[in-house]
Amino acid sequence: MSPVHDSGRRPGAPDLNLFRVFDVVYRERNLTRAAEVLFLSQSAVSHALTRLREQLGAPLFVREGRGVAPTPLAERLAPEIREALALLQQAVHHTRGFEPVRDVGTFTLAMSDMLEPSIVPRLVARLRERSPEARISSVRLERTRLERDLASGRLDLAIDVEQPTSAELRHTAFTHDAFCVVSRKRRRLDVAAYMGARHVTVSSRRTGLAVEDLVLSRLGYQREVTVRCRHYETACRIVSGSDLLLTMPRRRAEEINAELDNHLLPMPLALPRLELHLYWHRSEDSEPRSQWLRSELQVLAKGLMGASRR
């Protein structure tokens, strides 16, 4: 008589739990953190990866610093494994019904350093009411990795300026804002005065033009930028002690400069408004958790827009 397998799997067939371990290790890039997420011991995580490696006949991760890095095989498998796990999760949610208080768990949202102060505190306050057990991780946006990170589940959602994407990514309008000029003193600012002044600019990148400079260059203008920094609050404080001008989104300018003596001046050039979009992977289109989070962020966005009109 042939032996009975309690798991119901064919001998040699991969255990679905191994793919869950793979998915978390791929996202965390660290066995200790993955074990914490999975509520397993580190040795159990290592053993699961060993079993999956034996099933597939090739290594999936290699040591890198204090963590691990995926092999080319793991990079190829990650999006498909993530999508398959999402489909299984979706089937479970459809069976028992999605409950925000119970089912949100931990989610990771990527955005620039400049956006975080406006969005994350409001999001935390909203979710404390709607899903108190939810855990939020706000991380820096890396555009070169955006599609890969959303496909693998390392990111759940991202907020960024509108940009071309592949068919693998979905996006929708989130918020928009107009540019204004921050100055230490009130002045009449025309194009000649604006272009003749010295400027401070904000960018999370080490090199390259800031958003407003890209737009100005398309209009045939190049201004003199003498200071470059990473945060709008820093730039506003620089303006308050200098003759430099700062061009930034008006809504964020109103928040920061409410505590400073700076003045907000109209932008003398007709720059297009700054459009922000919400991004996710196509595998999350119908996933109830992702749908709920997107709807919560859209409500938050409407609140931001309403606050800017008051």
* 98 and 244 part of one domain: no
What is the number of structural domains in the chain?
3
For residue 11, being part of any structural domain is answered with no
Higher pLDDT, 304 or 227: 227
CATH code for position 247: 3.40.190.10
Distance from C-alpha of 152 to C-alpha of 27, rounded to nearest angstrom = 7
Strand pairing of 179-183 and 169-177? Answer: unpaired
Give tens-digit pLDDT for 82-138.
878 877 766 665 656 667 666 678 889 999 888 898 899 999 999 888 888 888 899
153: left (phi over 0), alpha (psi -120 to 50) or beta: left
Give the confidence band of 298 by pLDDT, cuts at 50, 70, 90.
very high
Q: What is the C-alpha to C-alpha distance for residues 45 and 50, in angstroms, rounded to an integer?
A: 9
Q: What is the largest CA-CA distance in the chain?
A: 93
Find out whether 90 and 287 touch, Cβ atoms under 8 Å: yes
**280 in the same domain as 172:** yes
Q: What's the rounded mean pLDDT across residues 1-9?
A: 38
Q: Does residue 9 belong to any structural domain of this protein?
A: no
User: Which CATH number characterizes residue 32's domain?
Assistant: 1.10.10.10
* CB-based contact 168:146 (threshold 8 Å): no
Whether residue 291 sits in one domain with residue 249:
no
Residue 304 near residue 168 (C-beta atoms within 8 A): no
- For the chain, the C-alpha Rg in angstroms (whole number) is 24
The residue segments making up the domain with residue 193 are: 180-272
What confidence tier does 241 reach under pLDDT thresholds 50, 70, 90?
Answer: very high
Q: Tell me whether residue 32 is in a domain.
A: yes
- Identify whether 75 is part of a domain: no
- 284 and 150 inside one domain: yes
Helix%, strand%, coil% for the chain, nearest 5: 45, 20, 30
Q: What are phi and psi of 296, to 5 degrees?
A: -65, -40
Q: 89 versus 21: which is more confidently predicted? A: 21
Residue 137 sits in the same domain as residue 199: no
Residue 90 has a pLDDT of: 66
Same domain? 172 vs 197: no
Mark whether 169 and 296 lie in a shared domain: yes
Tell whether 196 is covered by a domain: yes
How far apart (Å, rounded) are the C-alpha atoms in residues 100 and 132? 9
Q: Do the beta carbons of residue 161 and residue 275 sit within 8 Å?
A: yes
For residue 78, tell me if it sits in a domain.
Answer: no
Among candidate residues 178, 173, 148, the one with its CA nearest the CA of residue 159 = 173
146-185: buried (b, 16+ CB within 10 Å) or exposed (e) per residue?
bbbbbbbbbbbbbbbeeeeeeeebbeeebbbbebbbbbbe
pLDDT reading at 10 higher than 50: no
Residues 140 and 210 in one domain: no
- Are 264 and 281 members of one domain? no
What is the average pLDDT value for the chain, to the nearest integer? 86
